Amino acid sequence: SPVPEDSPVGTVVALLNVVDPDSGENGQVSCELSGEAPLSIVASPGGSYKVVTAGALDREQAAEQRVTVVARDRGRPALRSSRELLLEVSDVNDN
């Protein structure tokens, strides 16, 4: 669903659930965002993450925001997986 450009900072735009069936450090996962969008990722209990707005969205500058979610385990060597996230920004009358 598109996110209005006037959404306040901290608006949840995606919920992610990350699971690694390994045990010990190999099963402990952390996530981060890669990209230049005004978004951040916040860990929640149970392997869940929220992607939230971290700054103002402006549809006139960018109708969509793309970031990559990178999940890494704590094994040695660390394994990782990534997925692109596309956020559509909807227009709000600025006048």
pLDDT digits (tens, 9 = 90+) for 49-65: 999 999 999 999 999 99
Quickly count: other Cβ atoms within 10 Å of residue 46's Cβ.
8
Residue 95 inside a domain? The answer is: no
pLDDT band at 94 (very low <50, low <70, confident <90, very high): low
State pTM to two decimals: 0.85
Residue 7 inside a domain? The answer is: yes
Residue 32 inside a domain? The answer is: yes
Q: What is the mean pLDDT of residues 81-95?
A: 88
CATH code at position 80: 2.60.40.60
Q: What is the mean pLDDT of residues 16-45?
A: 87
27: containing domain: 3-90
If one compares 19 and 65, the residue with the highest pLDDT of the two is 65
- How many domains does the chain divide into? 1
Residue 68 inside a domain? The answer is: yes
Q: What is the mean pLDDT of residues 4-26?
A: 89
